[in-house]
Structure 1
Amino acid sequence: MSVIEKDFRKYDETGSWPMVYQKIRNESSLKAIADGLTIGEAKKPENRSRNRYRDVSPYDHSRVILKKNDNDYINASLVTVPEACRRYILTQGPLEQTISQFWQMVWEQKSKAILMLNRTIEKGTLKCHQYWPMGEEHGSIDEMVMEDVGLKVTWIEQEAMHDFNLTTLELEDTVSGTSREIFHFQYMTWPDFGVPTSPAEFLNFLMAVREYGVLEENVGPAVIHCSAGIGRSGTFCLVDSSLLLIEKTKDMNSFDLMSVLIDMRSYRMGLIQTPDQLRFSYMAIIEGGHQILADKNSTLDVVSSYIANHEDSPPPPPPPVRTTSLSPQHISNRPPPPSSRPPSRKTISRQNALEPTTEISDSVDNRLTPEQEPDEDPSSLQGDEQHNSMYAVRRRKREDRKKNTNEQIKRMKEKQRKSELRFRRRDYIRPLAVGLAILLGGYILYRYYWKY
C-alpha cells in the first residue's frame, strides 16, 4: 500500500481532513512570508475593478503580464510544476469588463485550450460572464469582436459529452489576419465549493482533455478557471500533475503530495478551497494511479470508504470496471481527437450540435415545469413530424432558459446599482455631517467664550 493510500485511510478513519487542510493553509502562509511573496499590482486602485474577489489576488512574481495595452494587469497566475513538466494559467471567471483582457491573454500566451470548471450561474449567482459565443443554434451569437485588443472569437462547433461540453472556437487577430483554433472544455457537473460525483467521472474528463494535447509542454499553457480560479481549478491541476508524476516514475511513492500542493500554492494563493476538495484529490489520484500501474484492487476500497463517509447523502455511482491502464483509448464518452474530425466542421456541427447540448442542460437543473410541458408526446409522432415537434420543444425550453438567465442578470445588476447608489449617498452625507459637527462645535465655543 502506498503512502498516499495510508494517509487517505488514516485521515478518513480519524476524521482529520479539516485539520490536514488547515495545516496546508498554515504552511502555505508561512512559505509565502518566508519567500517574500507580494500582491502589490492586484491592490492598485486602477486594478481593483479587475478582481472578482477581494481575497483572491495573483502574486506579483507569477502573475500573467499582458503585452498590448497600457495596463498589463489581469487576475491570472502562471502555475508551474517542473517535476511533471506542466504549466497552467489559473485565472478567475472573466468579468464583463475583463473579457477583452482574457482573450488577449489566451492569444499572447499561445494557449490551445480553455478549461472552464463551472457554470456561468450557480445557485442563482452570476459566477462568470458569458465570455465566448455559443452559436446561433444555441440562442446566442456566432462571433464576438473585441476592438480594443483587435481580436475576434468565432463559434465553429459544439459537442456534448456525458459531463462536459467541448466547443471549438476560432480566435483571430483582426490586425494581422492570423487565427488559431481554441478548444473550450466546460465541465458541467462540478458544484461550487464541492466535488464531482465520482473520481471515475472526473478522470474521464481529465483524460479527454489530455487526448487533445492541450496540456503538453510544447504548446502554450492551458487557461483553467472556475469562479475564483483556486478551488476547482487547483483540484484539477493537483490531480493532473500527480498522475503525471506517477506515469513518469511508475511509483506512487515517488513524490510528496502535500509538498506538491504547497509548492503550487506559492504560484497562486488558496489552491483547493475545502477539505472535501482535498479529500477528493486523494481519491482521484489513488484511483488514477492504480489504473496507471494496472493494479485493480484499490478502487473498490476507496469508493467504499467514500460512500461510508457520505451515508446521509445519495451515494455516487461506482466507477466503471476497468481491466486496462488509464489511457485515452479506454475512456468512454470522449470526443474524437482533432485528426479524426470531418473537414467540413462548421456545416456538420450546425446540423447536429443542438440536440445533445440541450439534452445535457435539461438533465441537470433546467427541467421543464408543468407549465412548460409539451402539448403532445413527441414519441407518438413519426419521421419528420416527430423531429419537428422535438425541435420546437427544445427551442421553447432554450428560449425560456435564456429569458430566465437574462432576468437573473438584470436583477443582480439592479441590486448592484442600488448598492453603489447607497454607498455614493453615504459618501455625500459623511462630509456634510462632519461639516455640520464642526460648525456646531465652533458655535458652542464661540458662545462659551463670548459669554465669559
Structure 2
Amino acid sequence: MTSPTEREFAEFDSNSVWNEVYQRLKNEASLTTLGDEFSTKLARDPDNRRKNRYRDVSPYDHSRVVLSGDNNYINASLLKVPDASRQYILTQGPLEHTMCDFWQMTWEQNTKAVVMLNRVIEKGALKCAQYWPLGSNYGYEDEMYFPECGLRVTLITEQDFQHFSLRSLELEHMESGEKREVLHFHYTTWPDFGVPSSPDAFLHFLHSVRQTNSLAPDVGPAIVHCSAGIGRSGTFCLVDSCLVMVEKEGTMDNINVRESLIRMRSFRMGLIQTADQLRFSYLAIIQGAQAILKGSGLESLQTQNCSEGVPPPPPQRTSSLQPPAKPKTMPSALQLLSALDENEDPPALPPKKNSPLQRQSGFSGWDGEMATDDDLTDDDEDDEEFDKLIDRDEDKENIGDNVIAADSDSESDSEMQRAQVRQRIREQRKQETMQKIKEMKDKQRRSERWRPYKSFFTPSVYFGIAVLVGIAGVVVYRYML
C-alpha cells in the first residue's frame, strides 16, 4: 500500500502541476510569516547590509544566529525541526569580508561539519569566497589566519569522490590554543537553481554526512550553505529531516512534505527555490524512505553502480587534534573514508518526458536569488567559456575511461590508471578555477576603484559640460572675429 507522500508525488507528476503546487506552497508560507515576529530589521540595518550577499535574502530576527562581540550580525539562521530532533544552521556562502564571521560562528556553535552545496564559481560569477585553504598540493597555503576573531584554519586531509569532496580541517583558537576538527563536505555537482544528477547520488552524499554523526542532536548544529543558503540548502534539510522521521516512526504515513517545508520557512525565508527542487525533494524522500523501510538503509545506495573508485585513504596524520567529544559515535574523517565503498555511483535519473519542468526557467518569482550589481559580470563570452570549462569535466572523465578500458590488460591496472586520469583532471580544474577567481577579483577591484567617480558623471553633469563647451566655443569664435 502506497503512502500519502507517494500518492501525492504520483498525482503531481502525472498531471504536471509542480509549478502550481510550488506556487501555492509559497503563498501559504508567506501567510504564515506575516507579522512583527518575522521581521528582518537587523539584516536591513546600514551597518549590516554589506554583510548580505543578496538583497532579498535576509535572516529573520527571531531565528538569526547571534555572534559574540559588539557587531554580532551574520546572515545565518538556526533551523529547528523538533519532530526529527534536528538543528541546522543555514547561511549564505561567505563573502570575502565575512569569512572571519563564518569561522567565528563555526567555533562558537561547536559545529562538527560544514556542508557546502555550491561551487565557488558558477556560470562565470563568484558565488562564494574561498574560505578554506586549498593546500600546498595545489601551490597554495595549508593555513588561513583570521586575526579579527583569533582563529586559524588548517587543511589536514582532502579526499575526492565522484560527486563530492571531503576535507578534514583543524580550527584553532589562537588565544587558548584549543583545536577542533571540522569536516568539510563539499557537494560539487549540484547546479545553481537545479537538482542533483540522481537521488541515489544525493542520498549517498547525505549518508556520508550522517555517518560522521555530524547531524546528531548531541553535537553542535551543522552549517549548511549554498550561495544564498535557501535553495539547495533547504532541499538538503527537508530531505534529511523527513527521512529521520521515517526512521523514528517506521512508516511514511505520517510524513507531510509540504507542511514540513512551510514550518521550515518560518525559520528562514525562501527555502527551496524552484518547482524542480520541490519535485526532487519528494523523489529523494520516497527513494530514501523505501531503502530505510526495507531494512537496508541509506548505506545500501552507495553500493550501486559508480563511475569512480575511491582512492585509498591518505596517510595517518599527527595527533595534534583534540579527540571528538564522543569518540565511540563520532568517527574521524579517515575512518569515514575507509568505510565508504569503492564501487561506482548510480546512473543519472532519466528526465521526465514532456514535463514543463524541463523547460522551466531558473528563476521562480520572489524566491529567486537576486544578485546585487557587484555579483554580476559584464563579459558573457567569459561566462560561456568558463561554463564549458567546468561542465566538460564529466566528458573528460568519460573519455579517460574509454581510453583506459581499451588499453588496459587487467581490471586492477584499469582502476589505478582511471584514478590517475581523474586526479590530473581535478588538479587542472582547480588550477584553472583559481586563475579565473583571480581574474574576476582583479576586475572587481578595478570596478570598485572606478565606482566613487561614477557619481560625478550624471546627466546633469554632462549637460553642464556641454553648456560650458558651447560658451567657450562662442567666446573663441568672437575673439577670432
User: With structure 1 as the length reference, what TM-score do the two structures score?
Assistant: 0.76
Measure the CA separation in 1 of the matches of 2:88 and 2:427: 36
Deviation for aligned residue 1:399: 6.5
Aligned length: 388
Judge conservation of contact 1:155–1:170 (CA < 8 Å) in 2.
Answer: yes
Shift in CA distance, 138/394, structure 1 to aligned 2, threshold 3 Å: farther
Conservation of the 8 A alpha-carbon contact between 1:156 and 1:346: no
Pairwise CA distance, 1:103: 0.5
Question: Which residue is equivalent to 1:59?
Answer: 60
2:444 is aligned to 416
Contact 1:231/1:273 (<8 A) preserved: yes
Structure 1 letter corresponding to 2:184: H
Residue 161 of structure 1, CA deviation: 2.4
Q: Does 1:36 align with 2:37?
A: yes
CA distance in 2, matches of 1:403, 1:64: 35
TM-aligned CA distance change 1:19 to 1:430, over 3 Å = same
Q: Which residue of 1 aligns with 2:303?
A: 332
- The one of 423, 427, 433 equivalent to 1:405 is 433
Partners of 2:288 and 2:298 within 8 A in 1: no
C-alpha contact (below 8 Å) 1:139/1:399 kept by paired residues: no
Letter of the 1:325 partner, please give it: S
| Counterpart check, 1:3 vs 2:31 | no
Contact 1:132-1:144 at 8 Å conserved across structures: yes
Tell me, yes or no, if the aligned pair for 1:78 and 1:267 is still in contact at 8 Å.
yes
* Structure 2 residue 453 is the aligned partner of structure 1 residue 425: yes
RMSD over equivalenced CA pairs, Å: 3.8
| 1:12 partner letter | D
Show CA shifts across 1:179-208 (max 9, x none): 111111011211111111111111111111
1:203-236: CA deviation from partner (whole Å, max 9, x where unpaired): 1111111111000000000000111111111000
Change (3 A) 1:397 1:328: closer
Aligned to 1:245: 245
Q: Secondary structure at the match of 1:36?
A: helix
Residues 46 and 4 from structure 1, CA distance in 2 versus in 1: closer, same or farther, beyond 3 angstroms? same
Q: Per-residue deviation at 1:128?
A: 1.1
Distance 1:29 1:391, change over 3 A: closer
> Could you tell me how far 1:29 is from its partner in structure 2?
1.3
Equivalent residue, structure 2, for 1:91: 91
TM-fit CA distance, 1:287: 0.9
1:2 & 1:397 partners in 2: Cα distance?
A: 44
The answer to whether the 8 Å contact 2:138/2:427 transfers is: no
- Counterpart of 1:345 in structure 2 is 317
1:78 and 1:391 map into 2 onto residues whose CA distance is 39
How many angstroms does 1:276 deviate by? 0.3
Q: Please tell me the residue identity of whatever aligns with 1:59.
A: Y
Secondary structure in 2 matching 1:255: coil
TM-superposed CA distance for 1:416, in Å, is 3.1
Where in structure 2 are the equivalents of 1:268-283 lying within 5 Å? 268-283=268-283
User: Corresponding residue for 1:236?
Assistant: 236
Offset, 1:325 = 2.3
The more displaced of 263-272 and 33-42 is 33-42
Could you tell me which runs of 5 or more consecutive residues in structure 1 were left unpaired when the two chains were aligned: 295-323, 335-340, 354-359, 441-452
- Match for residue 321 of structure 1? none
1:57 partner amino acid: S
**Residue of structure 1 in register with 2:20 after alignment:** 19
What's the CA shift for 1:343?
A: 8.8
The CA distance in 2 between the partners of 1:396 and 1:203, in whole Å, is 27
SS in 1 for 2:44: coil
The CA deviation at 1:259 is: 1.1
When residues 221 and 395 of structure 1 are mapped into structure 2, their CA distance, relative to the original with a 3 A threshold, is closer
Partner of 2:177: 177
Q: Distance in 2 between matches of 1:328 and 1:390?
A: 25
2:138–2:431 CA contact under 8 A, matched in 1:
no
Q: Is the 8 A contact 1:154 1:171 kept in 2?
A: yes
Contact 1:203 1:288 in 2 (8 A): yes
Separation in structure 2 between the aligned mates of residue 137 and residue 61 of structure 1, nearest angstrom = 43
Supply the AA of the counterpart residue of 1:16: V
**Stretches of structure 2 lacking an aligned partner (at least 5 in a row):** 307-312, 320-332, 339-344, 346-388, 469-481
Measured against aligned partners, the alpha-carbon deviations of 1:278-301 in whole angstroms (never above 9, x if no partner) come to: 00000011111122222xxxxxxx
- Give the CA deviation at 1:24: 1.3
Residue equivalent to 1:198: 198
Change (3 A) 1:231 1:392: closer
TM-score, structure 2 as length reference:
0.71
Q: 1:72-103 CA distances to partner (integer Å, 9 max, x unpaired)?
A: 11111100001111000001111111111100
Shift of 1:255: 3.1
Native 8 Å contact 1:170 1:182 kept in 2? yes
AA at the equivalent of 1:51 = N
Q: Structure 1 139/242 Cα, relative in aligned 2: closer, same or farther at 3 Å?
A: same
**Cα distance between partner residues in 2 of 1:194 and 1:390:** 29
Query: What displacement does 1:36 show?
Result: 3.5
How far did 1:412 drift? 2.5
The aligned counterpart of 1:306 is none
Structure 2 CA distance for partners of 1:209 and 1:415, relative to 1, 3 Å:
same
Alignment of 1:212-361 (within 5 A): 212-294=212-294, 324-328=295-299, 331-332=302-303, 344-345=316-317
**CA, structure 1 residues 196+222, in 2 after alignment: closer, same or farther (shift >3 Å)?**
same
Shift, 1:390, TM fit: 10
Cα distance in 2 for residues equivalent to 1:410 and 1:432: 37
Please say if residues 9 and 282 of structure 2, whose CA atoms lie closer than 8 Å, have aligned partners that are also in contact.
yes
Alpha-carbon separation, structure 2, partners of 1:343 and 1:415: 40
8 A Cα contact 1:62 1:268, kept in partner: yes
CA pair 244-40 structure 1, distance change in 2 beyond 3 A: same
Map 1:52-201 to 2 at 5 A: 52-67=53-68, 69-201=69-201
Quick one: distance in 2 between partners of 1:57 and 1:255? 29
